[in-house]
Amino acid sequence: MSSTLKERLLAVGAGVAVLLGGLSAGAAANADESVQSDATTTTWDGTLTWGLKASFINYLTSKIANGTVTATDGAALPNGQQSAADYTLAPGQQFGEGTPDEVQFQGTVQYTGHDGVLDVTLSDPVIDFSANVLKVTVSSREFAGATTLGDLVNYGEIAFASLTGLKATPGEDGMAISVSSAKLTEEGAQAFAGFYKEGEALDVPTAVLTKTVTETTPPVESETTEQAETSEKPSKALEQSSTPTEEETTQAIPRESLSWQVKDTFIGYIAAHATISETGGAVYNGDTFAFPLAKGQTLDVENLSSISYTGSVNLNAYGGALDITFANPTVEKTADGWVLTAESVSKPRSGGEPVNYGRIALASLEGMSVEESDGLVSVTFASAQALEGTSNVFGYAAGTDLAAPVATFAVSSEPEPTAPATQATTPGKETTTKPSKPTTQPTSTETPAATPSTQQKTECTVDTTKTRVTSGSLSWGLKSSFTSYITSSIANGSWTLSGVTRDGGAFVFPATGGTFDTATRTGTLYFSGSVHFTGHDGILDLTISNPTLVVNGSTGSVYLTVKGSDMQGNKVDVGRVNFANGSFSTVSVSNGALSVSASSVTLTAAGAQAFAGFYSAGQALDNLNASAHLTAASSCDPVTGEKTYYDAFGNVTTADLANTGASDVAGLAAAAAGFLLLGLAVVAMRRRALL
C-alpha cells in the first residue's frame, strides 16, 4: 500500500488491515476465538503518522532554509521521506473495547534550518481523548534574528494541538484513530517562538493500533493441530468482507463499456467497507466498475484518438469520511501517450468539504492493443500508472501501478444519433445547457423586404435573465499568512501592483466583462490587473494576474495566470490554471447589481502544483467578494425589431453567447482576462505561518 493511501483510508475506519489484501498477525491470532483457551495475553503495537505542517516542511527543506528533519528514539521517516514522521506506540499499554483515555507514543523528531537558527524538537506525542488535544514534549530556539542563535528553551510536555473530530474506531484486530482537523494551541504557538499564530491549521495526525492475542498456557493436545491450522487462515469476518456477495455480482457489464478496477486491492477494500452508488448507466458488479459508451461518437478502429463513456460512481464509507466520485471517463491519446481521464470529486484526507477537481488525468496507459470479435472492438492496455491527480482523488501516489482499463465499442460504419449538445456533467456541480449556433436565420416571424418602406418589424423579446457585466471588482486577500510573510524581516520582500488597488488586507481587481444568468445564478466574471511579489533577494519571484471567477450557484472556481520561481529560484511560467474552488454564502442580484461572497475558498490540485507543491490541495485560502453591474446581453432594434447579441465584453456577436457557465472559461484567452492565481514560489516561512 502506498503511504498516502494508508494515511487516507486507514485513518477513517476499522478493519483497515485488509485494505491491500494482507492480514495482520493480530488478525491471524484472532482467527477463531472458539479454539483459544481462557488464558491469553494481548499485546499492542502501532504507529502515529504526523507531518506537523506540510508547508513548514517544504520551506525547511528548500534552498532558503537549507534544513533537515531527523528522527530518533523510536521515530522514523518512512522511505527516507521528510514530509511525515512515524512515532511508535509506547510499550505496556492496554486498551479495552471503548475509547481510551489517552494513547502514548514514543520517538523524537528534530527540525533544523538556517544554520541552526531554526531548531524545533518534538518528542513523545500523546493523543488525549479526554481533552481532545495532541500533547507533545517540545524544545525550540527563541527567534533572535535571521542570523543570530536564540536561546534553546525546553517547554516540557504541552497541549500542542487541539483536535476536532477525534475518534477511535475499534476493529477485530485493533483500533484506527482519526482526526478531522488539528490546530495550533496558544502553548504550541509560544513553543514556535510566535512565528505561528494560535489556531493555525496543522497536518492531521493519524494512528493505527494492532493487537495480538497469544496463549499463555499450553492448549489441550487434541486441539493443537486444529489451532495450528486455524492460525494460518484469515478470520471468517475478514474473508467474508473481501468477497462480494452473490447479490452484488448480479449487475451485468454493458456490452459497450469501459471497465476499470482502479486497483485490484482497492476493489477488495471497497467491497468490504464502502457504500457504492451508480448513476447514468454505470454499474459495479463486485469485481469492477463499468461505464456505458457515450452516444454520438464516430470511432474509427484504424485511427482511434479518444473513446468517451458516461455514468458516475460514488464511494462512501465511515460516515462520509471517505467520499469519492468519478464520472464520464475517457480513454484518450495525448502528445505523451494514452491516458485515462475522468471528472472527479474527492473529500480531502484532512477532512472538510469534497473538492471538485473537474476532469483530470488519473492514469497513464501503455501497451495498447486492439482486437475485434463478434462485432465488438476491445481496446486493452498492458499497464497503467497513477498520475499526480490520482493522489488527490484515490490517495495513490504518482507512479503507483493501477489496474488497466478495458474499453469496448461495437463495430459500426455509421455514428449513433447525437443528442443535443450539453456540457459534460461534473460530479457535484449543476449543469447548464448551451444552445448550438443556428445554422439558418429564423424565418417564421420575419419577412425580408425589398425596400425599407415595405419592411415589417420582427417580433423581438429580450431575455432579461441573460446578462453581461459592464463594471465591478473582485476583492481577495489571496492568503493573509503569505502576504504577512512577504513583508516580514525573514523574506524582506514587497509587492508591486499593476491595475490593482489594495484595500485593507485585500487586493482589488477591476472587472473587464462577463456573463451571468440571473435565473440559474451561473456565470463567468473576468477581471484584470496583476500583483508581483518578490522576496529573499529575488529567489521568491511571483506574478499573478487577470483572475476569472466562475459562479455555478452556491459553488464556483477561480482561474489565474501565474509566473514565478520555484524554491531554488528557477523561473517558471505556469500559465492558466483553475487555482481555487469556492463555496458561496451569497449569490444575489438586486436592481441590476450582482453580489458574490465566499464562505470558503480552497486550493485545487492544479493550484497546489502552481505553488510548486508548497500548498496541498484543499488548503484554505482567504475568502473573496465580487460585485458587478449587469445589463441585458441582447437588445432589439426599435425600428426593425432585429435582435442583437453581445458577448462578455460588450462586442456584438451573431449568436446568443449569454448562456453562461464554466464552459465560458475556454474562450477567455483573447479577452485580456487571463486567469489563474497564486502560484509558485511561495517560499513559505522561516518558522512563521508563511503558508
Q: Which helix (H) or strand (E) holds 343?
A: strand 337-346
Round to whole Å and give the CA distance between 11 and 204.
10
- Give the 3-state secondary structure of 490-527: CCCCEEEEECCEEECCEEEEEEEEEEEECCCCEEEEEE
* Domain stops at, among 374, 395, 410: 410
Asked if 294 and 375 sit in the same domain, the reply is: yes
Asked if 279 and 206 sit in the same domain, the reply is: no
Residue 568's alpha-carbon distances to 541, 542, 565, in angstroms, are 11, 13, 8
227 found inside a domain: no
* Domain stops at, among 410, 435, 453: 410
443 found inside a domain: no
Asked if 567 and 623 sit in the same domain, the reply is: yes
Cross-strand bridge partners of residue 40: 215
517 found inside a domain: yes
Would you say 197 and 175 are in contact if contact means Cβ atoms under 8 Å apart? no
Asked if 65 and 161 sit in the same domain, the reply is: yes
Q: Which helix (H) or strand (E) holds 484?
A: helix 480-486
Round to whole Å and give the CA distance between 37 and 57.
49
pLDDT of residue 560: 92
Asked if 43 and 136 sit in the same domain, the reply is: yes
110-139: buried (b, 16+ CB within 10 Å) or exposed (e) per residue?
bbbbbeebbbbbbbbbbbbbeeebbbbbbb
> What DSSP designation does 654 have?
S
Round to whole Å and give the CA distance between 583 and 623.
9
Asked if 149 and 199 sit in the same domain, the reply is: yes
Would you say 638 and 509 are in contact if contact means Cβ atoms under 8 Å apart? no
430 found inside a domain: no
Asked if 558 and 643 sit in the same domain, the reply is: yes
pLDDT of residue 150: 78
> What DSSP designation does 309 have?
B
69 found inside a domain: yes
List the 289-292 sheet strands across, edge first.
283-284, 289-292, 257-260, 406-410, 376-380, 369-373
380 found inside a domain: yes
Asked if 208 and 253 sit in the same domain, the reply is: no
Round to whole Å and give the CA distance between 28 and 586.
55
Tell me which amino acid residue 67 is.
G
Cα angle 683, 686, 690; round to 5: 55
Asked if 202 and 307 sit in the same domain, the reply is: no
pLDDT of residue 527: 96
Asked if 200 and 281 sit in the same domain, the reply is: no
Number of domains in the chain: 3
pLDDT of residue 676: 31
Asked if 401 and 493 sit in the same domain, the reply is: no
Q: Is the C-alpha dihedral spanning 420, 423, 424, 426 positive or negative?
A: negative
What residue ranges of the chain have pLDDT lower than 70? 1-39, 63, 79, 144-147, 193-195, 215-251, 267-273, 318-319, 349-352, 412-458, 566-569, 610-615, 654-691
13 found inside a domain: yes
* Domain stops at, among 376, 410, 444: 410
Round to whole Å and give the CA distance between 193 and 506.
27
Asked if 402 and 474 sit in the same domain, the reply is: no
**Could you tell me the residue range of the domain that residue 577 belongs to?**
466-671
Cα angle 588, 593, 597; round to 5: 45
- Report residue 102 as a C-alpha cell: 489517552
> 585 CB contacts (<8 Å, ≥6 apart)?
597, 598, 599
450 found inside a domain: no
